[in-house]
Structure 1
Amino acid sequence: MSERPAPQPRSDYRQFSTLDTRWMDNDAYGHLNNVVYYSLFDTAVNRYLIEAGALDIHRGEVIGLVVETHCNYFAPIEFPQRVDAGLRVAHRGSSSVRYEIGLFAAGEPLTAARGHFIHVYVDRATRRPTSLPAALVRALEALETP
């Protein structure tokens, strides 16, 4: 039997960015709709890659396609609330990366949600897997967990 998922502390993550929730993010139950968590994951990863100079979303020859995603929820997040998105790389292959993201309500010590997604990096034109570019490898090294 597998271990039950549990919230994680901030110290488990290598890099953080602060994201704002929006009015439209709340669902009928008064907290963020589950799809918003995935959007926050995507924003945290891509913001980091763009700011690190590892991803050119308009002209880059290599792009990352999501092939797997997952999320565990532990505490509600709602609008208006700031969210700290922690980021780490759990695995780096020759053409793929497993990003792990923890979402923290501002000031909270444990994840309100945590999850992952896997990017397979492909040639933009052919959509065939390709080796990770050097700039991407450098950016990922800063996020890798020991």
Structure 2
Amino acid sequence: MPRPTPMSRCDFTVHRRLQTRWSDNDAYGHMNNTVHYQLFDTVINHWLMEQGLLDFRQGEIVGLVVETGCSYFAELAFPQEIIAGIAVEKIGKSSVTYRIALFGQGETAAAQGRFTHVYVDRVSRRPVSFPQNWRDALLELQL
């Protein structure tokens, strides 16, 4: 599989500022690869909550991660402010694939990845179709 090309900030419709933490660095002095996934999850779920879509405490539907991946292009480390870019790559009946990138000082991604959520009924854990307000909001993020 060919190595992906780093995306740029203009490839994303939503941007959020994030601050790295002391505990994000590993023994090599840069942000540990697992932290990138934590930031992806955080920035997506925060956007969903901002839109009034996700109520992780009492909402009827919740997103379960079924696939994720990340490509790394440059180091990030504490103390550093980073920008997360969010976009939607694909919308299905009950699933969505998000494209996320983390940017340091430059215009190209230090890391970029994807996260696929399948949205399910909170109780039965069976996939559910997106309500129209979810679909409308997700379409605004589509690449």
1:18 equivalenced with 2:17 (yes/no): yes
Which amino acid letter does the alignment assign opposite residue 58 of structure 2? R
Q: CA deviation at 1:141?
A: 1.3
Which blocks of at least 5 consecutive residues in structure 2 are unaligned? none
Separation of aligned partners in 1, 2:38 and 2:133:
24
SS at match of 1:142: helix
> Is the CA contact 1:91–1:144 (under 8 Å) kept in the aligned structure 2?
yes
Q: Distance in 1 between matches of 2:23 and 2:112?
A: 21
Q: Work out the percentage of aligned pairs sharing the same amino acid.
A: 52
Q: Distance in 1 between matches of 2:14 and 2:20?
A: 19
> What is the distance in 2 between the residues matched to 1:100 and 1:129?
21
In structure 2, the partner of 1:108 is: 106
CA–CA separation in structure 2 for the residues paired with 1:143 and 1:83: 20
Matched residue pairs, number?
143
In the alignment, what sits opposite 2:118?
120
Pairwise CA distance, 1:11: 1.0
2:131 aligned with 1:133: yes
The one-letter amino acid of 1:103's match is: L
How big is the alpha-carbon RMSD for the aligned residues of Structure 1 and Structure 2? 0.8
Give the SS at the match of 2:133: helix
CA apart distance, 1:134: 2.2
The residue aligned with 1:79 is 78
Counterpart amino acid of 1:139?
A
- Structure 1: tracts of 5 or more residues without a match: none
For normalisation by structure 2, the TM-score amounts to: 0.97
Q: Where in structure 1 do 4 or more consecutive aligned residues deviate above 3 Å? A: none
Question: What residue in structure 1 maps to residue 36 of structure 2?
Answer: 37
